[in-house]
Structure 1
């Protein structure tokens, strides 16, 4: 029996990418925007066509900015908070499409998985932990934080889009080392030093990717870098006086940053690997057909159903 192959998609990334990449002029029969809906269905269909997974899961942000991460680092995703002070700032025409995407995926029979107080990243990390070693896992997202999950021995790779094209590139340990200069297992420490403006993680002043990688290679790990800075170990090929001072000044930040960046792998999702197998039939044909007709989704809906091998009548365009 062939080893299972799990495809996990970062659903929020897919619908944001679709919204910004598919023309906003696409409208449903009643004039509502449907570009994110169509683009998400098309992207999942393409991934299934190309990857031919045996299992599939759609990770969902139940909490896009968990309180426990904010308590550790107040700046976490602050720049993306909406005017109400807690929800995520989302384009007006994307907002009504998001629940439709979830209803479509659920009606089709694809597992849409989230957890209280957790981001989609943590759902994906937990699914990787559940599945790793039993087969292969491919995580589809452009979020570079998923680099930390890449593991050749466990069969875990990362799929990232190729620019603005429909293509996807597979990242394994060699590609991760080439991109960041460290093994995937050291990515969290590199990101802590470098920071990540897209998530409101400041990093250490004056230290970017290359410097962070060099310092980690020189001193072994983040703890070693911090010890060297505390000891004033200024040396050629190692820390400069300015870098050592910056690391000492960032001591409180460096205590919490790795915990914020590290993806959880222990959520109580209540799902087994067997339950992630591709559906054999449409879970709710009536809801699926109603949504496809209401939003004029004949072409992408048919493509996704056919990619999954589901027996379904082709909907009109």
Structure 2
């Protein structure tokens, strides 16, 4: 194992945060907003400086609401579907009009630089992140996201996987390993990642349209996992009249048996996605693959200073 990590970035999470965190008055010379573009490039430069990776992949949401998850939990992300979606068309996520063109700009610049992006059919970015992290056998992994769901990836073996959580912004980002997940959420440290996924399943997540088990909030879910060790053992206790599980909890869990069974694959990130990358390697390029194209895009979008910061961050890495 080398000391330099592979950095796996949750692209959509990061450019959404940049879009809402930076004023749309930041524009290209032709007047188009470039706040998300500039914020994203600056964030990547900051992360490279902090983490000093030698490999980096920006993971994409090729299917933000996979049908196989909707089939299991119909309410999954239903509130995010654009209302004007034509009948019979695939679900379209309600995204600010000024953000969508900037995602294309980001992809253009990453491509010109030679920075790898990765996606998978019928999978969200979470599943791409989960698959790449699960596959890694050589280098430590740092997953970067503003989505707490990714905390389930934290582990120590066979390589270290840490989740840099951006919930309070990049400046206050918190890095979670199994110990931090266990301490923060009260789950067993020896299986902190999987236990966090089980806590999320029981607790539910309104932002994803997941109802959870009625009457079981985060604190109760944490207590049950601490007492029983796993969701499997909690359910075994619920079905055992002689167990120490309270009647109230038993009733709530048994009433939600069908939901718990269906929600498992929805809440857990996939680790077997058919991931494809835009480059032959995820090695982080120290110089742009297509410098003339990068210079042209920098001028067109008015992000020369941000790309300069990115190059400065790359220059500081060992050759």
Query: 1:7 is paired with a residue of what secondary structure?
Result: strand
User: Do the aligned partners of residues 273 and 284 (structure 1) sit closer, same or farther apart at CA in structure 2, a change above 3 Å counting?
Assistant: closer
CA contact (8 A) 1:137 1:156 kept: yes
Deviates most, 267-276 or 188-197: 267-276
1:137 counterpart = 2:141 = yes
Query: 1:151 is paired with a residue of what secondary structure?
Result: coil
Equivalent residue, structure 2, for 1:124? 129
Equivalent residue, structure 2, for 1:286? 292
Aligned match of 1:156 in 153, 157, 161? 161
Q: Structure 1, unaligned stretches of length 5 or more?
A: 311-317
Give, in angstroms, the shift of residue 234 of structure 1.
Answer: 7.3
Query: 2:171 is paired with a residue of what secondary structure?
Result: coil
Structure 1 CA distance for aligned equivalents of residues 184 and 214 of structure 2: 21
1:109 counterpart = 2:114 = yes
Equivalent residue, structure 1, for 2:17? 17
Give, in angstroms, the shift of residue 233 of structure 1.
Answer: 5.5
Structure 2 CA distance for aligned equivalents of residues 281 and 78 of structure 1: 42
- Normalised TM-score (structure 1): 0.90
Equivalent positions of 1:136-285 (< 5 A) are 136-153=140-157, 154-161=159-166, 163-164=168-169, 166-182=171-187, 183-232=192-241, 235=244, 238-239=245-246, 241-270=247-276, 275-285=281-291
Equivalent positions of 1:2-41 (< 5 A) are 2-41=2-41
Aligned match of 1:302 in 296, 299, 308? 308
Query: 1:265 is paired with a residue of what secondary structure?
Result: coil
- Normalised TM-score (structure 2): 0.90
CA contact (8 A) 2:181 2:193 kept: yes
Equivalent residue, structure 2, for 1:315? none
User: Do the aligned partners of residues 266 and 41 (structure 1) sit closer, same or farther apart at CA in structure 2, a change above 3 Å counting?
Assistant: same
Structure 1 CA distance for aligned equivalents of residues 185 and 292 of structure 2: 48
Query: 1:275 is paired with a residue of what secondary structure?
Result: coil
Q: After superposition, what is the alpha-carbon deviation per residue over 1:58-90, rounded to whole angstroms, capped at 9, x for unaligned?
A: 000110011111111111111111121611110
Aligned match of 2:103 in 71, 92, 98? 98
Equivalent residue, structure 2, for 1:314? none
Structure 2 CA distance for aligned equivalents of residues 103 and 124 of structure 1: 21
Q: Structure 2, unaligned stretches of length 5 or more?
A: none
Deviates most, 12-21 or 241-250: 241-250
Q: How many residues align?
A: 306
CA contact (8 A) 1:3 1:134 kept: no
Q: After superposition, what is the alpha-carbon deviation per residue over 1:211-247, rounded to whole angstroms, capped at 9, x for unaligned?
A: 1121123233222222322344674xx43x3322221
CA contact (8 A) 1:60 1:120 kept: yes
CA contact (8 A) 1:11 1:59 kept: yes
User: Do the aligned partners of residues 207 and 254 (structure 1) sit closer, same or farther apart at CA in structure 2, a change above 3 Å counting?
Assistant: same
Q: After superposition, what is the alpha-carbon deviation per residue over 1:261-280, rounded to whole angstroms, capped at 9, x for unaligned?
A: 11111223256998111114
Give, in angstroms, the shift of residue 161 of structure 1.
Answer: 2.6
